[in-house]
Structures are given as structure tokens and as C-alpha cells.
Amino acid sequence: MPDADCPGAQLCYLNASGEPCPSGSSCFCRWPDQSRWKGVTQHEAGHQQSSLGMGLTVNADEHYTFECTSGSCDGITDVETGDLSIRQRSRMTIAHASTSPLPMDLHCIQSAERYGSALDEGFGHFTSARANNWQVNPQTGNTETDCTFSYYKEVLSPDLFGLQCGTDVACTSTPRRDMPSGVKAYPPQGINCDAASNWRDSQCGNQGVLSSFATELDFLQFFWSVHAQGLQAERLSMDDIYSTFRATCSGACRPCAGEKLRWASIEDTTPKDVRSLNDGAQAYLSASKLTRFAQQALAHGITPPPSP
């Protein structure tokens, strides 16, 4: 396709090299300057920081993708834990181009993802949020707890964030190739990281396979809430966060050793294969910090669903 066929200010590039693409099936639409946006750079730096501070949280071979064995092959089947239906997945995930698969549509801030993947990406967003939101105003000396994260991909249903299309954000009414209706907003978009959207529980569901899944948005807001909100004595410093994960993973998280992160251990699995964030928090955090950590985890939809 030519540049004129791309939505918004996107241009047409070759998938492999990123060079301009005049036409053909290897062309795809992308934002020309996206990789230089500060939110992207800070997010990637967050991956480096978490790698140093607590090890790697995600197995490369189970990062975002799902093996598709039948149907439309839109990435439906989780080979580890079972089926995730098209309808469930469509409500949570957006595709960023209507033509070809992109590396960037593997995961989105509202996607239900495997626990470690959502945690890993949410921590990247959290790193960007920390870089752009001060906790003590340097001019007044007043403490602040509000937070805005500048997200660098499209967002599904911006109205659910209180944003009006055409007024607050630019939108399109073609959210993805397999959804007949809905709205997505073009990036960048400010996301409230000081809120508790509880996106998994409120928009994705938390039963069946989804009970062990999480979203990047929920982890972003969870990390901000335990680090920058609440009573000072109950807040987790960055060292507290890293130390909690090191306690979870017996020194450092090591996905190459087959470890998987979850909130709680899962019965009938080898103990060393599943590391429990809840166990790590109980091993490391002081009582007051632990109480709030657990409360916020529940409020942000990163625990298994509470019993009815």
C-alpha cells in the first residue's frame, strides 16, 4: 500500500528493515518516530533495570504468543493452560494495523497476558511513570501521588478512561480486523497510573484460564500504588520491590531454569517451577508493608479471583 492508505500520520515501511516501502505484501503501517518517544525509551530502560534488580521474569518462549491450532488463528489457544476464546480475547486486545501482523501488536496495555509477561511490561510502564511524575514537588516541597503515563500504542475504548474521541484524543472506529464495532484511540495517550482500573476483573473476566492472567495496565497501577501512594511507612522503595522479587525467586528470577511467576503457587506443579509473588512478599516485607501490598494486589486484579 502507499503511504496514503495508512491511517493518521502513519507511513508505509518494510516489515524486516524498517525502510520505506512503496507497495507490496511486506509493507506495513507504523508511526515514523515512535521508537524515539520518551515513553518507549523509558519503558525499555525499565526492562534493563528489572533485569539487574530481580532477574528475568519471563520465559522467551512463552512471552506473548499463543499457538493457534484451529479456527481463525488469531492467536487463541494457550498451549500451557487451555483455550482463551476469541470473544474474551477481542474484548481485551487491540491490533494496531488492519493489514499485516506487527511485532507491536503482540501485547497491549489492556491485553490479558500470562502473568509474568504482564508483570514484565507493567514494570516497564512503571519505570516511565516514575521518570515523569515526581513524588515531591521540588518547588513547593509538597508530596504528590498523582500519576500520568504516556502510552505509545493505540488504546481500546478510550471512553473507559474518561476520554472523549475528537476532544481529548484522536480515534478511529475500526478497532481491529475481527471486531465489527468499537473505538480505539491513536497514540500517544495519557493513562492514569494513579487509578485502580482493575482491568482484568472489570473488562476481561477472571475465571478459568483468565484467573492466572493479568494485564499490563493493572500491574502499572499496582506498582505505582505500592510505591508512591498510601502512608509513607507502608510504601515499598525500589529496593523493597527488587528484594521482594529476589525473595520470590530465591536470589534472582531465572526463566531459563523453567521458573514461572504467579501470584500464588499452583497445585500439582513442581514447586520450583512456579514462583509465588505472594510467598516472596511474605518472606521479605515488613508487616505493615505486606498488608497493603496484599490489599492493593487484590484491588488491582493481579491475584486469583476471590472466592464468591
Q: Which residues contact Zn ion by CB under 5 A? A: 121, 124
CA distance 110 to 49: 23
| Residue at grid coordinates 473507559 | 160
Residue nearest to Zn ion (CB): 124
Q: Between residues 66 and 152, which has the closer beta carbon with respect to Zn ion?
A: 152
Least Cβ distance, residue 43 to Zn ion (angstroms): 5
Least Cβ distance, residue 46 to Zn ion (angstroms): 8
Least Cβ distance, residue 121 to Zn ion (angstroms): 5
Least Cβ distance, residue 300 to Zn ion (angstroms): 19
Least Cβ distance, residue 163 to Zn ion (angstroms): 23
Least Cβ distance, residue 248 to Zn ion (angstroms): 20
Give the DSSP per-residue string, the chain: --GGGSSTT-EEEETTT--B--SSTTEEEE-TTGGGSHHHHHHHHHHHHHHHHHB--S-GGGSS-----STT-SS-EETTTEE--HHHHHHH---S-SSS--GGGS--TT-EEEHHHHHHHHHHHHHHHHHH--SB-TTT--B----EEEE-S-EE-GGGGT--BTTTB-EES---TT-SS--EEPSPEEEESSS---HIIIII--SGGGGGEEEHHHHHHHHHHHHHSS-GGGPPPHHHHHHHHHHHTTTSB-GGGT-EEESS--TTS-GGGEEEHHHHHHHHS-HHHHHHHHHHHHHTT-SPPPP-
Q: Between residues 222 and 284, which has the closer beta carbon with respect to Zn ion?
A: 222
Q: Between residues 113 and 121, which has the closer beta carbon with respect to Zn ion?
A: 121
Q: Between residues 122 and 205, which has the closer beta carbon with respect to Zn ion?
A: 122
Q: Between residues 44 and 194, which has the closer beta carbon with respect to Zn ion?
A: 44
Least Cβ distance, residue 126 to Zn ion (angstroms): 11
Q: Between residues 121 and 201, which has the closer beta carbon with respect to Zn ion?
A: 121
| Residue at grid coordinates 513547593 | 140
Q: Between residues 1 and 45, which has the closer beta carbon with respect to Zn ion?
A: 45
